[in-house]
């Protein structure tokens, strides 16, 4: 009976947003969920998106179902954005999915049902939802070491050792294509080469979570990890999201992209992926994918989008610099210069669970329990206030 159901714990990331919304204090700051906020503390709709929506409003003639794998123009645009022309189109299957989370779930169910007894190796630490998604799909989860004991840099040797010693051929390895969540610590170009060779030589399936393209070093630059993997491996799955780089969070727009060695393997894999989708959400929602496709089909809108995205990327870099400089002004506070090497929205602050707690209760600053800070939620005007709060709890 329902009255015997136990209360679940709040979500490790989204649960904090709920607590923030319920906090009556006027001086507060939400640095938990990975959402970009501008200098006024809002998350406005991008101009290119508004313009595309106007076009869609005028031209759309039906709300009939999309195909199971989504809007063809969107799927082509995703393939180009991820892969350029590196892989022939007949070796690539793209499915439009409800967000990057939807893509991960589809990929996980595909791996669990079609590639059994595959297991998936995820980095430690990783996005709080990865393990839950994989397990919910029936895919066994193992971890590999990622962050060094300084909590600021990659322990590459440990990562290589774990992937060499603990994996079996046919296992999948989840990699963050750029802007590692939660740490902001990415492999270097040379390390990506080594990772790619290791995956290929051990017969491991690369599973790339690509949610932050455009927030690290730039749109093309951020695709280098995925493209390096594909220089050495002839099979992979990439799960991408347009929540962040198009600011389409609530439209739930993402893609699962499978690359196979031959066109016939691609077609068979696509047919199985469609079965996974059909038994789950049937076919994807149209609007978000239509926005992305409309922007990318129009050179003028594409130009506006790239400028807007680059503006966000550079502003996050500035916020990192401002925070590091602000912390230097705080007597006795630790040096945060490591934030300058990290990429994307997030950084591991080094705050303990107790300090995270105190930051929330005493100062109204909300960060994830692991100490992950969403730099993209900071704000120039309140930077001194934030630095004082962080220094106080440290």
Residues in 1-30 that interact with ligand LMR by CB under 6 A: 13
**Distance in angstroms (rounded) separating the CA atoms of residues 183 and 334:** 18
- Please say if 127 is a catalytic residue: yes
- Please say if 38 is a catalytic residue: no
Provide the 10 A C-beta neighbour count for residue 323: 22
Q: Per rule CB under 6 A, is residue 260 in the interface with ligand LMR? A: no
User: CA-CA-CA-CA torsion for 220, 31, 341, 206, nearest 10 degrees?
Assistant: -50
For ligand LMR, the closer CB: 16 or 304: 16
Residues in 77-136 that interact with ligand LMR by CB under 6 A: 127, 129
**Rounded least distance, CB 241 to ligand LMR, Å:** 8
**Rounded least distance, CB 63 to ligand LMR, Å:** 27
Q: Per rule CB under 6 A, is residue 181 in the interface with ligand LMR? A: yes
Total of chain residues touching ligand LMR, rule CB under 6 A: 6
**Rounded least distance, CB 13 to ligand LMR, Å:** 4
Q: Per rule CB under 6 A, is residue 34 in the interface with ligand LMR? A: yes
Out of 244, 305, 312, 343, which one is annotated catalytic?
A: 244
For ligand LMR, the closer CB: 16 or 301: 16
For ligand LMR, the closer CB: 98 or 326: 98
Asked if residues 367 and 20 have their Cβ atoms less than 8 Å apart, the reply is no
**Distance in angstroms (rounded) separating the CA atoms of residues 307 and 309:** 5
CA proximity to 239, closest of 226, 248, 220, 228? 226
Element (H, E) at 222: helix 219-222
Q: Per rule CB under 6 A, is residue 228 in the interface with ligand LMR? A: no
CA distances (Å), origin 269, targets 73, 127, 243, 346, 362: 20, 27, 26, 34, 52
Asked if residues 209 and 244 have their Cβ atoms less than 8 Å apart, the reply is no
Out of 69, 162, 186, 209, which one is annotated catalytic?
A: 209
Asked if residues 232 and 200 have their Cβ atoms less than 8 Å apart, the reply is yes
Phi, psi angle pair for 141, to nearest 5°:
-115, 130
- Please say if 303 is a catalytic residue: no
Out of 127, 162, 192, 305, which one is annotated catalytic?
A: 127
For ligand LMR, the closer CB: 129 or 342: 129
**Rounded least distance, CB 359 to ligand LMR, Å:** 17
> Catalytic residues, which ones?
127, 209, 244
């Amino acid at each position: 009976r329902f009255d015997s159901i136990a209360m679940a714990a709040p979500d490790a990331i989204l649960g904090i947003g709920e607590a923030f919304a319920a906090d009556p204090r006027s001086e507060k700051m939400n640095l938990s969920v990975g959402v970009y906020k501008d200098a006024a503390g809002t998350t406005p709709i991008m101009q290119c998106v508004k313009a595309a929506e106007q076009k869609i409003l005028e031209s759309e003639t039906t709300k009939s179902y999309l195909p199971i794998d989504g809007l063809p123009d969107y799927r082509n645009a995703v393939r180009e954005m991820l892969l350029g022309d590196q892989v022939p189109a007949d070796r690539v299957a793209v499915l439009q999915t409800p967000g990057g989370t939807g893509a991960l779930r589809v990929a996980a169910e595909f791996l669990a049902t079609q590639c059994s007894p595959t297991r998936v190796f995820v980095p430690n630490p990783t996005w709080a939802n990865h393990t839950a998604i994989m397990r919910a799909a029936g895919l066994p989860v193992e971890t590999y070491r990622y962050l060094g004991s300084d909590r600021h840099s990659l322990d590459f040797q440990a990562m290589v050792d774990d992937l060499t010693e603990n994996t079996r051929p046919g296992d999948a390895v989840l990699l963050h294509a750029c802007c590692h969540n939660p740490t902001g610590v990415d492999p270097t170009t040379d390390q990506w080469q080594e990772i790619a060779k290791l995956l290929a030589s051990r017969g491991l399936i690369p599973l790339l979570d690509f949610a932050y393209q455009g927030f690290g070093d730039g749109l093309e630059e951020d695709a280098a990890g995925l493209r390096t993997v594909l220089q050495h491996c002839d099979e992979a799955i990439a799960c991408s999201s347009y929540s962040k780089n198009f600011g389409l969070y609530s439209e739930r727009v993402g893609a699962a992209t499978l690359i196979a060695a031959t066109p016939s393997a691609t077609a068979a894999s696509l047919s199985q992926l469609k079965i996974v989708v059909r038994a789950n959400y049937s076919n994807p929602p149209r609007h978000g994918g239509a926005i992305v496709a409309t922007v990318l089909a129009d050179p003028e809108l594409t130009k506006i989008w790239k400028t807007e995205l680059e503006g966000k990327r550079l502003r996050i870099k500035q916020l990192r610099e401002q925070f590091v400089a602000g912390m230097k002004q705080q007597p006795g506070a630790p040096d945060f210069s490591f934030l300058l090497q990290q990429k994307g929205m997030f950084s591991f602050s080094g705050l303990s669970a107790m300090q995270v707690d105190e930051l929330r209760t005493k100062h109204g600053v909300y960060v994830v329990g692991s100490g992950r800070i969403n730099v993209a939620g900071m704000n120039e005007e309140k930077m001194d206030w934030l630095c004082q709060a962080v220094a106080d709890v440290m």
